Amino acid sequence: MGLRISVLGRGAWGSTLEQLWSQGGHGLRAWSRRQGGDPRELLDDCDLVVSALAMEGLRPVASLLGPHWPPGLPLLSCSKGIDIETLCTASGLWRFHLGENPIAVLSGPNLADELRRGLPAASVIASANGELATHLQGALRTPNLRLYRNNDPIGTEAAGALKNVMALAAGVSDGLGLGANARASLLCRGLAEIGVVLQALGGQSATLYGLAGLGDLLATATSPLSRNYRCGLLLAEGLHEGEALSRIGATVEGTRTARATLQLARRHGWAVPICTQVVHLLEGISDAPTAVRALMERDPRAEAEA
C-alpha cells in the first residue's frame, strides 16, 4: 500500500518527485507559493511531508507549519543549499521549527529533467533515525530511482550544497575554454574544498565520496541541464550575476550557497579558495580570467593540506 505524501514546492525537482511517486502508487498532494493556498492543509491525513522548496522560501514556510505539525509526522528534506541568514542547511532550519519530529534528507546526482524522462539515477536517504531511513528507502524507490541510505544527514546536505558552487566554477572554466585538464583539476580541488566544510560541520568523510558528494558533483558540474553550470557559462561570457540569473529564469542555489559558505569560512577560519573566487566574481570584485589567475597563483602546498 502506498504512502500519503504531501510535497511542498512544485519547481522542477518537486514536480519530478511528485510524478515519480505518483506513478509508483503513492497518493500525492502538492503545494507551491506560486499557486497559492494554505500549506497547513497538507499536514492532515498524511504519512510523509516532502520539502522541495528553494532555500530562499524555506524559512517562512517552516515557521508557518511548525506550530501545526502533527507529532511524529516525518519530513523528507530535498532542498540543497545553505541559508544566507542563519547559515543553516535545510534540515537545520526544519529542525528549529519541528523539534524532535523525525527528519531525513534526500540527495544525490538527480537532474530533474533526466528523471522525468525515465532515465536511471541513484540517490541517498540520510537520517540519524536509521529506522526512518530504511523505511523510506524501501517505500520511495522506483524502477528508475535506486535509493541507498546513510546516517550522515549533515554531511549529505553539506556536500549537496557545496557541489552547486563547484558547478558554477566548472561552468566558468568551460566557458573560458580552459580545457579538460583545468576542469578535472578544478573538480578535484573542489571536492577537497567540499570536504573541508563537510568535516568542519561534523559530517563523515565517507559521505564526500558517495552519491551526495562525488556523485552529485560529477552530474551537476558537467551537464548543461544544471542551472549552476549554465550560470557559470554565462558569467564567463561577461554577464553580471543578475543578467545571468535572468537569462536562466529559475533558482540557482549556488550563488547564495557560495556567499553563505564564505561567511562560515571567515567565522571559523576555513580555507575555501574556490568559494572565495566565485563570490568575488558574483560581486564584481574580479572578472572570470582574474578569478582563475588568483587560484593558479596561490602559494604552493602539499596536495593533502587543508
> Which residues belong to the active site?
163
Q: Do the beta carbons of residue 256 and residue 227 sit within 8 Å?
A: no
Rounded Cα distance, 273 and 276, in Å: 5
Task: Give φ, ψ of 109 to 5 degrees.
Answer: -75, 90
Query: Which three cell numbers, joined as nine digits, stand for 50?
Result: 516532502
Please report the sign of the dihedral spanned by the C-alpha atoms of residue 110, residue 111, residue 117, residue 119: negative
Rounded Cα distance, 232 and 183, in Å: 13
Helix axes 153-175, 227-236, angle to 10 degrees: 30
Pairing of strands 75-77, 4-8: unpaired
- Secondary structure letter of residue 99 according to DSSP: T
Rounded Cα distance, 27 and 23, in Å: 9
Q: Is 8 left (phi over 0), alpha (psi -120 to 50) or beta?
A: beta
Q: Do the beta carbons of residue 259 and residue 164 sit within 8 Å?
A: no
Q: Do the beta carbons of residue 202 and residue 258 sit within 8 Å?
A: no
